[in-house]
Amino acid sequence: MIQIRRRRHHSVPALNTAALPDLIFTVLFFFMIVTHMRSETPPADIRVPQGEQLTDTPKKHAIYHLYVSRDGTLQLGSQPVSLQQLPARLEAERRNLSPEEREQATVVIKADRSTPMSVITKVKMSLRRAHAFRISYAATSSSSSSSSSSSSSSH
């Protein structure tokens, strides 16, 4: 007589997830360490103007944000600065860069839309004394007022 053997149903072993929380916290810790936290806070009264033909600033590692309020108050990064102190402060910031990065360093002027052009001109002359010739102007796109771009121009 022929015996028919029943196939045993092999079950898939359960996946051991005991080490999963350790792995998740390790990855979270890694990203917390390597992520650059934004430390500058712009002045509350800066309203960037709108623009038509905007381009993004190409490199992000050698960019200095200079906020100009409508009354002419300046802020380099998160630190307030006067127009007379601007060249020395910018030069001190650029000292940490390599010569190649120093040449590529860009100052992004984020001026309030109602800032007089005479103030912007004084700021540009002060930047020229600091040998900062790569200047970009921040603006918002006229098609969507919430996104921020910058129109770049080199002088």
Specify the 3-state DSSP secondary structure of 48: coil
Q: pLDDT of 82-111, one tens digit each?
A: 999 999 999 988 888 888 888 888 899 998
Tokens of 69: 């309020």
Specify the 3-state DSSP secondary structure of 105: coil
- Burial class of 102 by CB neighbour count within 10 A (0 to 12, 13 to 18, 19+): middle
The predicted pLDDT at position 40 comes to 61
Show pLDDT as tens, one digit a residue, over the chain (155 residues). 667 666 677 777 788 888 889 999 999 988 888 887 666 666 656 777 667 766 665 555 688 889 998 888 899 988 899 999 999 999 988 888 888 888 888 899 998 888 899 999 999 999 999 888 888 888 777 664 443 444 444 44
